[in-house]
Structure 1
């Protein structure tokens, strides 16, 4: 009878089937996540940037704490240094950038004229000159006034749009710096809270090890890349001075800043040097040489210098880096391009400590890193 009762109970007991999330649910979640990040970009961009900067400067703040400097004072010094460096960079670029923006219509016309000359389209140059003469002379008064009024309205509207976007950009910069100050001034408070919340000692130790490893690798990455970019900027500035390009120091500063964006920044620098060379120099040969020099310097940096000094533990899959940079550029514009690579470094470091994500970590790493020992993360 007992066996029959047990059989009846087994038949009446509900069967619980546990199923993991389906691919459809995961796909919907990812789409909603991307849509949410795009919708909340004005809030998420400074938050993500402040968190990454906190991880980067966390070891610096901790080292200053060993010297007896309070977290609040250390945070003030770090944020003040960043603010001063940013002000110097903006001040160095403000006057040449304003001059280039003011001369943009003339530069565009001159660039098109020289391209027509290079193509041998003398008829196109003649027509362009006639149209320019009509706009600047006393020809058809009604047409001239209409054309000049149209150009003036377009320039004023562009300047007005740029002026209206400045307060929003400044607000995001201030929000980022204030949040960075509070995060640095809080010390290790968030790490202590994570340790307090996690249930087991093993999980607590793993969480602290992951956080410190991400801090160490991001700090090392930023310091190494900044040093390499500074050398690249000096080399680009000297080469532009050698080829008699206008404002060679500005090219050096732009090369330093643009090289924080992998691949896309170098391409933009090459294109900019070619356009300025076409406008400023006399012949096509003279205009191409600065662009070739810029491309050669960035190629040497990307193929030999950066892989040697960055180290294997920070090398990433080039295809994934390019896709990530372009994706975040579409999602968050310039800020997205800047945070894309540090985010990949943080994600890969996180994957190295989680066995379930080990495959994703190998996928994000560069070729030849698959056989690297996970315990050897500092090499």
Structure 2
């Protein structure tokens, strides 16, 4: 495999990568919606191709796909808003019961909290300060308003980018092919583009179908174990499964609390969380890797590193996008000879 033999090439490449990552962090209000729009475009590309084969005009097809997606999100939100509100209303009443049933954990938790407090106070001058935090008092309403406004801005920007990508996303590839000087470079650009579109689209569709299966299985488990509200808990499992590691871990904690709030008996209350964990192990460790093994062989250590890094950069959306971005990077490196060694390093 070709390796750079000049140190300045490595240093310049590192500086360029550092500059790109810095720009992605500083301009995340623009870069993150664009990355989400590109990912959604790859996910929705099969539907767009189906409409093109049906002779539907491209502007109308893009609008139909976006409205269908937004309609599904709004409909799902309306379906779970009632059960979510009911759980939020009865949560304050269930906290004393939850504290009573988890009293056997109070000692270890208090010890752990004291340890963290001592670590935090190491090197600090004077007694610990009691600060209200960003959500204290009158700051609650402005904080909520700012969060809602930022979410609305990001959603509008993502939908705008998505519409134009669905409408004329292939024009960038055509312009790139037109300006490349050699036929081999033109063919290589088309090959990389098609491979990214096929593999990432297949990955996203497969993950969505598997997450939907996890949601349906979780909804059935919640109904059979007596927790109730299967639509709410199925939706929670479906959404959490998009975030590797942190999503299922949070799901186990949520279903553990739901079980202790609704089911009598400590061992019976563990059933919802235990069955959800079993569903996730079957899906995440057996079915999904078997379906994606031919397309993706990523280094598992680098998958974890990518997940942690992009979660730090962009939060939960970055964690969701971490694996597609790592896969795109490997596809490009495998087909561009100067980066072949890096592509080999990324392989599982």
The TM-score normalised by the length of structure 1 is 0.76
Alignment of 1:91-240 (within 5 A): 91-102=78-89, 105-116=92-103, 118=104, 154=136, 157-158=139-140, 161-186=143-168, 188-240=170-222
Contact 1:307–1:315 (8 Å) recurs in 2: no
**Cα offset for 1:22?**
6.1
Describe the shift of the 1:177–1:290 C-alpha distance in structure 2 as closer, same or farther (beyond 3 A): same
In the other structure, the counterpart of 1:42 is 29
**Higher RCO, 1 or 2 (CA under 8 Å, sep at least 6)?**
2
| Structure 2: distance between partners of 1:318 and 1:160 | 41
Residue in structure 2 matched with residue 293 of structure 1 by the alignment: 275
8 Å CA contact 2:84–2:232 kept in 1: the answer is no
Q: Residue 114 of structure 1 contacts residue 279 of structure 1 at CA under 8 Å; is this kept in 2?
A: no
- Per mean C-alpha deviation after superposition, the further-off stretch among 36-45 and 63-72 is 63-72
**What displacement does 1:92 show?**
2.8
Where in structure 2 are the equivalents of 1:78-89 lying within 5 Å? 78-89=65-76
Change (3 A) 1:245 1:352: same
Total equivalences in the alignment: 319
Tell me the distance in 2 between the aligned counterparts of 1:192 and 1:23: 31
Asked whether the 8 Å contact 2:80–2:231 carries over to 1, the reply is: no
CA distance in structure 1 between the aligned counterparts of 2:98 and 2:136, rounded to whole angstroms: 20
User: Matches of 1:77 and 1:115 in 2, distance apart?
Assistant: 50
Q: How many angstroms does 1:175 deviate by?
A: 1.1
Name the residue aligned to 1:145.
Answer: none
Change (3 A) 1:340 1:70: same
* Distance change >3 Å, CA 80–CA 315, structure 1 → 2: farther
Say if 1:187 and 1:322 are closer, same or farther in 2 by CA, change over 3 A: closer
SS in 2 for 1:314: coil
For 1:66, which of 53, 72, 81 is the aligned residue? 53
After superposition, give the CA deviation of every residue in 1:175-232 in whole Å (9 maximum; x if it has no partner).
1111111121125211111111111111111101111111111111111111111111
Q: Give the distance between the partners of 1:187 and 1:30, measured in 2 at CA.
A: 25
Q: CA RMSD, aligned part only?
A: 2.7
Cα-to-partner distance string for 1:278-329 (whole Å, 9 max, x where unaligned):
2222222122221111111100111111122223222422222222122111
* CA separation of 1:280 and 1:183: change in aligned 2, threshold 3 A: same
Q: 2: distance between equivalents of 1:206 and 1:27?
A: 25
* 1:103 Cα offset (Å): 5.1
Query: Within the alignment, does 1:360 sit opposite 2:347 as a pair?
Result: no
Aligned to 1:343: 325
Stretch of structure 1 that moved more, 290-299 or 70-79: 70-79
Measure the CA separation in 2 of the matches of 1:358 and 1:324.
Answer: 19
Deviation for aligned residue 1:234: 0.8
Please tell me whether the aligned partners of residues 239 and 293 of structure 1 are also in contact (alpha carbons under 8 angstroms).
Answer: yes
Higher-Rg structure is: 1
User: How big is the shift at 1:76?
Assistant: 1.3
Pick which of 354-363 and 332-341 moved more: 354-363
